[in-house]
Amino acid sequence: MDNNGYSAVAQQLKGSDILKIANRLREMIAQGLRVCNLSVGDFSPKEFQIPDTLKKLIIESYQNNETNYPPSYGTVELRKSVQDFYKRRFNLEYELDEIQITSGSRPVAHSFYTCTLDKNSTILYPVPSWNNDLYAVLTQANEIRLLTKAENGFHPTREELEPHIHKAHVLALCSPSNPTGTMFTEKAIRGICELIIEENERRKGKERPLYLLFDSVYWMLTFGKFQHYNPVVLYPELKPYTVIVDGISKCFAATGVRVGWGLGPKHLISKMTHVIAHAGAWAPRAEQIAVSKYLYLDEDIQQYIQHTKNGIEQRLHKMYEIIQHLAQKGYPVYAIEPQGAMYLSVQFNLFGKKTPQNNILKNNNEIAEYLLDNAGLGVVPFQAFGYPEENGWFRISVGAVGMADIEWLTAQLEQALRQLNS
Residue ranges of the chain with pLDDT lower than 70? 1-3
Using CA atoms, how far apart are residues 171 and 401, in angstroms rounded to an integer? 34
**Residue 116's pLDDT is what?**
97
The three-class DSSP label of residue 139 is helix
Q: Strands 242-247 and 211-215: what pairing?
A: parallel
**Residue 1's pLDDT is what?**
47
CATH number at residue 405: 3.90.1150.10
- Strand partners of residue 213: 172, 243
The tally of domains found in the chain comes to 2
pLDDT digits (tens, 9 = 90+) for 320-354: 999 999 999 999 999 999 999 999 999 999 999 99
**Residue 2's pLDDT is what?**
56
Please, is 36 exposed, middle or buried when counting C-beta atoms within 10 Å of its C-beta (0-12, 13-18, 19+)?
buried
Using CA atoms, how far apart are residues 324 and 347, in angstroms rounded to an integer? 11
Domain boundary among 249, 264, 297: 297
Do 169 and 309 fall into the same domain?
no
The three-class DSSP label of residue 113 is helix
Structural domain harbouring 23: 8-48+302-418
For residues 325 and 411, the answer to whether their CB atoms sit within 8 Å is: no
Do 160 and 200 fall into the same domain?
yes
- The answer to whether residue 3 is domain-embedded is no
Domain boundary among 248, 278, 297: 297
- The answer to whether residue 195 is domain-embedded is yes
CATH number at residue 240: 3.40.640.10
